Structures are given as C-alpha cells and as structure tokens.
C-alpha cells in the first residue's frame, strides 16, 4: 500500500491522493475499502479519498468449449477481442469498451443492443467475509446495474456461442467504426447520464442547447451530448458542477430528471 494520485487510475485523469493497493491474486477486502477497476465510469474527488483504494488487476483467461472465464481486472475490450479471435460470439459489442471485466459486471455494461446480462453466467466475488460465487440469476441484472455483495469481482464466466472468428472480428470492427464516428475521443468517463424513459440523455442535453457548454475545465462534447470532456487542468469539481448544471437545465426545459451513470468517489464541495 502506498499513497498515490488517483488521477493516474482514471480515464478522466482527475482525482486526489489516496492509499492505493493494487490487487492481483492474494489480498483482503475491508468494509470501508473503495474498489476501482479501470477507472472509466468514475469521477474521483480532487480532495482525494480518505479510505484505502483497491485497484483491481486480477487477470487470466481460460476457455472450455463455448465457455470463457476471465479475471475481473482485465480490460473487457481485450477479453472480448480474444473471444472473437477464438471464434466465440456474443461479446462483439464489447470490443472497444475501456472498462474492466469486473466493473462491466457491476454496472451491466452494454452497447449496440448487447450487454453483460446476455452473456455472463456466473461470477466470483471476494468480500470481507470470504468468497461468494453467484449465478447470473443471483446477480439480478438491471439497466446498468446488478445486485452484488460488496467486494472485488475476481472471476467472471461467460457463456458464448460457437461461430466464425472472421465473422466475429468483422462485426466487432463495424461496432468500433460506429463508436469512433459517434463518440468523442479525449479524457472522458464514458456516458455521463442514464437514458430516461427509453430516451437517451444526449437527446435532451442536445435539445437544451448544451453542446459545447463548459464549467471550468469540463465541457459537453459537441460530437455527443452525453459525454463530458475534461480539458488540460480540468478538475473533478468542474465535472460535478457541469453535470449538476446540465440536470437543472434539462429539468427546467423538459421536466425530465437526469441521473448520472458515472459514480462519484470521495467528498465534493
């Protein structure tokens, strides 16, 4: 364990200091730990975090027929690409998603009509009381959510379908081309807000005239209104204040209450 800037562990590149432990094989979990995967859907306070932060890097991939098991700390994109290259179909939508396998389970990540709930059969979670092994039914997946005990997702098993590696890779490439065309590059946390009543948050943000709107070093992408871009020198507090402003303006205009998909970690002013 050592004190580090959490900005080094988040896709936004923001976050103050905390005691960080990188976990791989042997580790313990405490009730007040903060668990961080690849840091792609989180906003960590500029003030840091006054608790231990576990950065999950549990790895390893195994296949048995159409079943694939992967470490919770691996990048989901890399696991999905490996599945495609092995002629296993079902994760093509995930090639290009930057989060970890475990984080994707926690939030039931999805894109292009696919999601983790469609392909995950079970997971192993290390909790303060020991290991728990859950089936997909026990995880109770919902829209960008799952019902999991507190802990580190160490192993995830996917039930996939046999197919053609060439076809799977071609489909994944097509999804990635769409992702590059529709979504901005740069320092983002991914989609900022959840869809509301089946309508994308970006629809409301765009029609509220907020593309390009900024607070400090954070601004709404002009390419996709549901992405907040962090400029050089931008702070987590800028992101939070911009997100709060967007919620107020969308509610004032459309009487719609947006809810963040990103998760805030630490104390904000």
Q: Catalytic: 144?
A: yes
Distance CA 217, CA 130 (A): 42
Catalytic residue among 81, 122, 144, 240: 144
Q: Which of 267, 269, 245, 268 is nearest to 258 (CA)?
A: 245
Residue-wise DSSP of 14-68: ---EEEEEEESSS----TT-EEESS-SSEEE-TT--SS-EEEE----EEEETTEE
Give the Å distances, CA to CA, from 224 to 32, 150, 203, 212. Answer: 36, 33, 9, 10
| 191 is a catalytic site residue | yes
Check if 252 is active-site: no
Task: Give the active site residue among 45, 187, 235, 261.
Answer: 261
Q: Which of 45, 77, 100, 191 is catalytic?
A: 191
What angle, 0 to 180 degrees and rounded to 10, lies between the N-to-C axes of helices 76-85 and 165-182?
Answer: 150
* Catalytically active residues, by annotation: 144, 191, 261
């Amino acid at each position: 364990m050592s004190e580090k800037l959490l900005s080094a562990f988040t896709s936004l590149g923001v976050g103050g200091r905390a005691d960080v432990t990188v976990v791989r094989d042997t580790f313990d979990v405490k009730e007040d730990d903060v668990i961080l995967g690849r840091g792609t859907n989180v906003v960590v306070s500029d003030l840091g975090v006054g608790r231990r932060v576990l950065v999950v890097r549990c790895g390893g991939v195994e296949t048995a027929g159409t079943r694939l098991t992967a470490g919770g700390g691996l990048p989901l994109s890399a696991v999905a690409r490996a599945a495609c290259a092995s002629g296993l179909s079902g994760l093509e939508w995930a090639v290009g998603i930057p989060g970890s396998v475990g984080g994707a389970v926690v939030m039931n990540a999805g894109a292009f009509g696919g999601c983790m709930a469609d392909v995950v059969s079970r997971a192993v979670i290390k909790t303060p009381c020991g290991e728990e092994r859950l089936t997909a039914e026990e995880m109770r997946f919902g829209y960008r959510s799952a019902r999991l005990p507190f802990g580190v997702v160490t192993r995830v098993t996917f039930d996939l379908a046999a197919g053609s590696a060439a076809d799977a890779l071609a489909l994944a490439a097509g999804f990635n081309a769409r992702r590059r065309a529709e979504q901005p590059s740069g320092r983002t946390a991914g989609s900022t807000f959840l869809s509301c009543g089946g309508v994308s948050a970006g629809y409301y943000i765009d029609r509220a005239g907020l593309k390009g709107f900024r607070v400090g070093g954070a601004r709404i992408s002009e390419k996709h209104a549901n992405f907040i871009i962090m400029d050089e020198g931008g702070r987590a507090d800028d992101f939070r204040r911009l997100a709060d402003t967007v919620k107020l303006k969308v509610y004032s205009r459309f009487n719609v209450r947006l809810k963040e998909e990103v998760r805030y970690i630490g104390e904000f002013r």
